[in-house]
Amino acid sequence: MMDFTQEERMLMMIYNPGSREKLVVELETMKGQLRPEERRLLRLTDTVIGKLRKITDEEFDRIDLYPDVEE
């Protein structure tokens, strides 16, 4: 399984609509809204998108984006 940093997980948590494919779309949309000075966020987003494209939907479903939230 792909390892995601804490920062990458936070970005995924903020934009996650519930599926890997939809998350990639959301992140691509967000990238289009970034200003030139937001280069760091752009690099982070590109890294997350690249990692998401390398994993399966099943692997994505096993990622615990909300570990501290009790059900």
Residues of the chain with pLDDT under 50: none
What's the confidence (pLDDT) of residue 67?
A: 75
What's the confidence (pLDDT) of residue 9?
A: 96
Q: What is this structure's pTM?
A: 0.90
21 — phi, psi (to 5°)? -60, -45
What's the confidence (pLDDT) of residue 68?
A: 74
CB 13 within 8 A of CB 62: no
What's the confidence (pLDDT) of residue 38?
A: 98
**For residues 33 and 48, what is the distance between their CA atoms, to the nearest angstrom?**
17
